[in-house]
Amino acid sequence: MPGASGLRWLWLSVTIVVLDQWTKTLIVAHFALYERLEMWPVLSITRLHNTGAAFSFLSDAGGWQRWFFVVLGLAVSGLVTVWLRRLPARGRSWLAAALAMIVGGAVGNIIDRLLHGYVVDFISVHYDRWFFPAFNVADSAITIGAVMLLIESFMSDDDTLRSRREKKVES
């Protein structure tokens, strides 16, 4: 199909944004700030507001970070969308899915920053008195997409079984 590109994977980005915003809306509607519901011994739902980035980085910076992270998120989303546009429609599904997840997660958190000035986090993983920083669906999508990109970076065309066989025959 002429003109087809990896942009066809943006359905995944939209799905992530919708799921992220829906879960955050539910949390805000049913949980007070800092309210906690233990689901399992290692998992709780806890409503938190994060004005910073991952691991609350810059959360106490005084407010300027809101716009910094909005601009950064928009820039990353734009660049990754251009990357998606340049991908062929077929043959790079793993990479396209990874990029679409990153875009969806970034947009989900941008919406929070624009609407509220903070990101709603609510998934809390913990053990005994150790707590991993709370996160949300958007953060999960960004992380999974980044891990997929990392895996993709180790898998070049030269690493395929077929390429190895062809090289063996040539030598």
Of residues 140, 70, 82, 133, the one with CA closest to residue 107: 70
Q: pLDDT tens across 4-37, in order?
A: 788 899 999 999 999 999 999 999 999 999 999 9
Task: Evaluate if residue 65 carries a pLDDT over 60.
Answer: yes
Of residues 46, 33, 35, the one with CA closest to residue 116: 33
**Per-domain residue ranges of the chain:** 47-156
Q: pLDDT tens across 86-145, in order?
A: 988 777 889 999 999 999 999 999 999 999 989 999 999 999 889 888 999 999 999 999
- Report which of residues 157 and 150 the model is more confident about: 150
Residue 89 phi/psi, 5-degree rounding, is -65, -30
Q: Looking at residue 36, what is its pLDDT?
A: 95
Q: List active site positions.
A: 121, 139
Distance CA 31, CA 35 (A): 6
